[in-house]
Amino acid sequence: MFKSVLNRVPALVPKLGIASSPFKMPMFANPIAQMQKRYATLNQIKNGKHFRPIKPFISKAPDLEGNPFKKGVVLRVMIVKPKKPNSAQRKCCRVRLTNGHVVTCFIPGEGHNLQEHNLVLVRGGRSQDLPGVKYKIVRGTLDCAGVANRQTARSKYGAKMPKQ
């Protein structure tokens, strides 16, 4: 095994000669940065540690378990105040998802008809000024009505096309 590692070492070490002379380098190259280039040691190659470790994917909406949406039942509708420097009354609700997890969801748009025991569809999406709120309600599906009198971005709020 070690012989096969030694056979690969010349590919890892830069070739010496005219090609690596400073006269062939471009004018903008930094010679100090060239000297700081790091190569794997023989022990690192032998142990297979010379590859950059792959970071595991961490979901920003873990309670959805990789699904784009989850159905849930509203447990409580509440009004939450945002973090500083914002000042408002954001409409939120606690929802028990079909997998048993209980999450806090933001209700987008102006006005809503949600009450306790309503069925809602939950999607991922953090509300930037509400701590702990990582999910949003999908408007216009199940028991959640779309936003009334919405003219722009209607698909995001479940609003129908206005009559001519």
Residues 67, 144: one domain? Answer: yes
Poorest-pLDDT segment among 22-31, 79-88, 144-153: 22-31
Residues 29, 67: one domain? Answer: no
- Whether 55 is in a domain gets the answer no
Residues 89, 119: one domain? Answer: yes
CA angle 146, 107, 90 (to 5 degrees): 130
Rounded to the nearest 5°, which phi and psi values hold at 87?
Answer: -140, 115
- 38 is in which domain, residue-wise? 2-47
Residues 8, 85: one domain? Answer: no
The residues, ordered by sequence, that sit 6+ positions from 22 with a Cβ below 8 Å of its Cβ are 31
User: What pLDDT is recorded for position 107?
Assistant: 97
| CA separation for the pair 11, 29 (Å, rounded) | 22
- Whether 57 is in a domain gets the answer no
Residues 39, 94: one domain? Answer: no
Please check the confidence at residue 86 and state whether its pLDDT lies above 80. yes
Give the model confidence (pLDDT) of 24-54 as tens digits.
555 556 666 556 667 788 888 888 877 777 7
User: What pLDDT is recorded for position 164?
Assistant: 79
Query: Average pLDDT over the chain, rounded to whole?
Result: 84
Adjacent-strand bridge partners of 104: 94
Please compute the mean of the pLDDT values over residues 77-90 and round it to a whole number.
96
Please check the confidence at residue 16 and state whether its pLDDT lies above 80. no
Residues 25, 103: one domain? Answer: no
4: enclosing H helix or E strand: helix 2-12
Residues 15, 81: one domain? Answer: no
Please check the confidence at residue 15 and state whether its pLDDT lies above 90. no
Please check the confidence at residue 18 and state whether its pLDDT lies above 60. no
Residues 112, 40: one domain? Answer: no
